[in-house]
A and B are shown apart, each in its own frame.
Chain A
Amino acid sequence: MSDTTVIPARGDVAAYVAAVRSALADLPVEDVEDLTQGMEADLTEAVSEGSGGLVERFGTPTAYAAELRAAAGLPAAAPRRLGGGGLRARLRADHESWAANHPGLAGWARELAPLWWALRGVLVVGVPLRVMLYAGMAGALLTLGGVAASVWLGRYRRQHPDERSWRSALNAIGDVAGALLVPVAVWAWFFLLGSTSGLGQISTPPQYAPPDDTGLVSGTTSVTQIYAYDAQGRRLDDVRLFDQDGHPLSAWDSTSQTDTAVGPDRWTDAGGRTWTNVFPVVDQDSGQGWSLGPGAAEGMWHPPMSIDALVRNLGPLDPATTDGSVTEPPQDVQPPAPAPTGGATAAPTPGATAPTTTAPTSVPTNPASGATSSAPSASKG
């Protein structure tokens, strides 16, 4: 910004003069006029002769105004009153003062203003349309119309900066509405369009699945029948199966079965409770689970009468179960009752008639002759 070859544009000079005027706003109009009349021309002339920016050569508008006052013998600026000049004039003065103090940024803002006009047109027209779930060609055309109107308003406002009419009011409303809608649009972009039910899309309601009766699935194939055999290979009838949570397994899929298909025969036990996890599922026509009824489809598997018996692998498995294993695990050879060391070494006295099969007690090794008499063993005899 302190490039000495930069020549301030005419707009910058105008902004500077306006800022100085606003700093003198509390003075009588004729005083301000006396001080600033021809200032624009003078500044332009001074600038065209020399080099450097406005602020570099003349100081900030506020400082310039203060110097004017002091040199002119006028009182210093009183603190800004809120009511002075109305909100619009104050906003204008603030903006122009800022623009004069930041000519580089102000130039950027000026160049990017058309982009803002287009964006606010999209927001002001497009967001309400989306909110009403209105999309399609008509919506796009309306949005384009909004963009055109916004750009036209912005350009008009720039060409007639002092006019106060419905156009300037509409322009201001567009600015405010567009600014308010920017966070709304950002929120909608990130939070609504990212979900499956975004704006403009009809969200499909989730399928209502009745609990329990959806059948069994093994991998990707649905299971409609379970044939069970025990370890000896014998068929098992009316087997009840439960899952890991204790829920009864049910192969009945209410969404796909029809009345004519094989369905589960619901059993009731002595207590009156109904079971659906009884396998194999009984054919309604034949009344049996193991025969395939007339409705059986081609290619269905015919369960054999029996299958090979299971042989449990020998290994560090707990043999405590008695589920009918054919071959008993080899009995652990019971080690013979260890001969009591004391008794073995001690010579068996003739008087010792106690059977050695009783639980041997530890007998203190005494001299054989007097062993039994003084032995405190209670088991003897």
Chain B
Amino acid sequence: MDATQLVKGVLDLAVLAVVADEDGYGYDVVRRLRAAGLDEVGDASVYGTLRRLYSAGALTSYVVPSDEGPHRKYYGINKQGRQTLELQGKTWAGFAHTMDGLLRTAGVTA
């Protein structure tokens, strides 16, 4: 089981977290995810997730015009998104805690 599989499972949560921290456009979100340590995440996956979350109503989007470059589509989090973020965040925290317990029992330290 490599990290990509894990990331795919929690990519929604990661993206929501990043966008909740600060609005961002596609590549900006990718950059921040990578900076946080998620090297394996693919650009296309992030873009697709942003779109899906937007379609699901968890994100807002707006276009920022630019003079020298192309227009950037920014995503921001809304109320529904924050609710999803908290809910999924708690689920994740509980899951991680359970996993940690199992690993401790097996003698594996994080």
Interface residues of A (CB under 8 A from B): 31, 34-35, 37-43, 45-46, 58-59, 64-65, 67-74
For the complex of A and B, list the 9 residue pairs with the smallest distance between their C-beta atoms, beginning with the closest: A71-B48, A42-B27, A67-B44, A72-B48, A72-B51, A71-B45, A41-B70, A73-B52, A68-B48
Query: How far does the alpha carbon of A65 sit from the alpha carbon of B42 in the complex, in Å?
Result: 12
Mostly, the A contact residues are helix
Interface residues of B (CB under 8 A from A): 11, 25-27, 30, 42-49, 51-52, 54-55, 63, 69-73
Whether B48 contacts A69 by the Cβ 8 Å rule is yes
Q: How far is the CB of B62 from chain A (nearest CB, A)?
A: 12
Query: How far does the alpha carbon of A68 sit from the alpha carbon of B42 in the complex, in Å?
Result: 10
Whether A70 contacts B72 by the Cβ 8 Å rule is no
Whether B45 contacts A67 by the Cβ 8 Å rule is yes
Output the nearest chain A residue to B45 by Cβ-Cβ distance: A71
Task: Return 13 A-B CB contacts under 8 Å, by A number.
Answer: A31-B51, A34-B51, A35-B48, A38-B72, A42-B25, A42-B26, A42-B43, A68-B44, A68-B47, A68-B48, A69-B48, A71-B49, A72-B48
Residues of A within 8 A of B51 (CB): 31, 34-35, 68, 71-72
Residues of B within 8 A of A65 (CB): 44
Contacts A67-B48, A68-B47, A71-B45 given: A34-B54 contact, CB under 8 Å?
Answer: yes
Whether B47 contacts A39 by the Cβ 8 Å rule is yes
Whether B72 contacts A41 by the Cβ 8 Å rule is yes
Query: How far does the alpha carbon of A74 sit from the alpha carbon of B52 in the complex, in Å?
Result: 9
* Interface contacts beyond A41-B27, A42-B47, A69-B48: sample of 6 additional A-B pairs, CB < 8 Å, sorted by A: A37-B71, A42-B25, A67-B44, A70-B48, A71-B44, A71-B51
Residues of B within 8 A of A71 (CB): 11, 44-49, 51-52
Contacts A67-B42, A73-B55 given: A38-B70 contact, CB under 8 Å?
Answer: yes
Query: How far does the alpha carbon of A73 sit from the alpha carbon of B71 in the complex, in Å?
Result: 25
Residues of B within 8 A of A64 (CB): 43-44
Partner of B26, one of A39, A59, A74: A39
Query: How far does the alpha carbon of A35 sit from the alpha carbon of B48 in the complex, in Å?
Result: 7
Output the nearest chain A residue to B26 by Cβ-Cβ distance: A42
Output the nearest chain B residue to A64 by Cβ-Cβ distance: B44
Query: How far does the alpha carbon of A38 sit from the alpha carbon of B43 in the complex, in Å?
Result: 13
Output the nearest chain A residue to B63 by Cβ-Cβ distance: A37
Residues of A within 8 A of B11 (CB): 71
Partner of A38, one of B25, B45, B46: B25
- Which of B25, B51, B55, B72 has the largest count of A CB atoms less than 10 A from its CB? B51
Whether B54 contacts A40 by the Cβ 8 Å rule is no
Whether A46 contacts B48 by the Cβ 8 Å rule is no
Whether B26 contacts A38 by the Cβ 8 Å rule is yes
Output the nearest chain B residue to A57 by Cβ-Cβ distance: B43
Query: How far does the alpha carbon of A31 sit from the alpha carbon of B55 in the complex, in Å?
Result: 10
Query: How far does the alpha carbon of A74 sit from the alpha carbon of B70 in the complex, in Å?
Result: 26
Query: How far does the alpha carbon of A249 sit from the alpha carbon of B47 in the complex, in Å?
Result: 100
Residues of B within 8 A of A59 (CB): 42, 44
Residues of A within 8 A of B73 (CB): 34, 37-38
Query: How far does the alpha carbon of A68 sit from the alpha carbon of B55 in the complex, in Å?
Result: 14
Whether A41 contacts B55 by the Cβ 8 Å rule is no
Output the nearest chain B residue to A71 by Cβ-Cβ distance: B48
Output the nearest chain B residue to A66 by Cβ-Cβ distance: B44
